[in-house]
């Protein structure tokens, strides 16, 4: 069941999207036929491609349906016609993506799954209230110095700080106090 309202759209507007532009001419014929015939992959393949046998049509329909550009366009079409997927559908899709991904590519889907299910909160960014005591973000040697220090800091960030005597100290933000100022450790 969709959780967001359906967005009104026209077929002309859909054809101006980058997803439609990414399709080849045959993929455009296939996706239009697939949508018009209610999702019959074989009928859409017979209309868009020339194959010598039923087995070839079956293989080709599978290949076209799994092509990244076709998948992207059909996802856009689904969102425009049915609304955004529910949280349960998103979790199911992420679990499927994690199962299919090689181990080295599972970190991002796992993190997104944890955020979606509420297992880990998104990283909070803290801001400074007083510009006078604000540390600056450290820049690598040889790179230009930022014109103004950012007002947003997060734990683990490397910063420099000039004390009252004018001496520059470098350290890492360990935590942010209730006033929004970072606690810096390893200051040199």
Q: What is the CATH number of the domain that holds 52?
A: 1.10.10
Question: Taking 60 as the threshold, does the pLDDT of residue 124 lie above it?
Answer: no
Residue with tokens 């796992």: 110
pLDDT of residue 5: 45
40 and 66 both lie in a single domain = yes
**Total count of domains within the chain:** 3
Query: Tell me: the pLDDT tens digits for 4-17?
Result: 445 566 778 888 88
Q: Which pLDDT band holds residue 114 (cuts at 50, 70, 90)? A: confident
Residue 48 near residue 26 (C-beta atoms within 8 A) = yes
In a domain, 1, yes or no: no
Instruction: Measure the CA–CA gap between 166 and 127, rounded to whole angstroms.
Output: 23
In a domain, 69, yes or no: yes
Query: Tell me: the pLDDT tens digits for 140-168?
Result: 554 445 445 445 777 777 777 677 777 77
Of 153, 148, 160, the closest CA to residue 177 belongs to 153
Q: Please give the residue range of the domain that contains residue 177.
A: 126-185
Instruction: Measure the CA–CA gap between 94 and 100, rounded to whole angstroms.
Output: 10
99 and 133 both lie in a single domain = no
pLDDT of residue 30: 93
Give the pTM. 0.49
Q: Indicate the Cα dihedral angle 126, 129, 130, 135, nearest 10°.
A: 10
In the predicted model, what is the mean pLDDT of residues 84-97? 82
In a domain, 5, yes or no: no
Show the CA angle centred on residue 128, arms to residues 124 and 132, nearest 5°: 160
Instruction: Measure the CA–CA gap between 109 and 95, rounded to whole angstroms.
Output: 8
Tokens of 129: 């209230």
Of 78, 57, 83, 58, the closest CA to residue 5 belongs to 83
């Amino acid at each position: 069941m969709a959780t967001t309202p359906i967005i009104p759209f026209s077929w002309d507007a859909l054809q101006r999207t980058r997803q439609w532009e990414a399709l080849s001419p045959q993929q455009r014929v296939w996706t239009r036929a697939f949508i018009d015939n209610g999702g019959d992959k074989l009928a859409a393949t017979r209309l868009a491609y020339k194959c010598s046998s039923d087995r070839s049509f079956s293989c080709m329909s599978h290949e076209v349906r799994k092509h990244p550009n076709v998948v992207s366009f059909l996802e856009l079409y689904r969102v425009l016609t049915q609304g955004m997927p529910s949280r349960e559908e998103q979790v199911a899709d992420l679990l499927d993506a994690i199962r299919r991904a090689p181990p080295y590519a599972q970190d991002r889907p796992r993190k997104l799954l944890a955020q979606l299910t509420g297992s880990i909160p998104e990283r909070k960014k803290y801001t400074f209230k007083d510009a006078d005591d604000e540390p600056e973000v450290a820049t690598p040697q040889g790179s230009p110095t930022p014109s103004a220090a950012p007002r947003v800091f997060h734990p683990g960030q490397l910063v420099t700080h000039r004390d009252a005597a004018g001496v520059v100290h470098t350290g890492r933000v360990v935590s942010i106090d209730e006033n929004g100022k970072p606690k810096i450790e390893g200051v040199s």
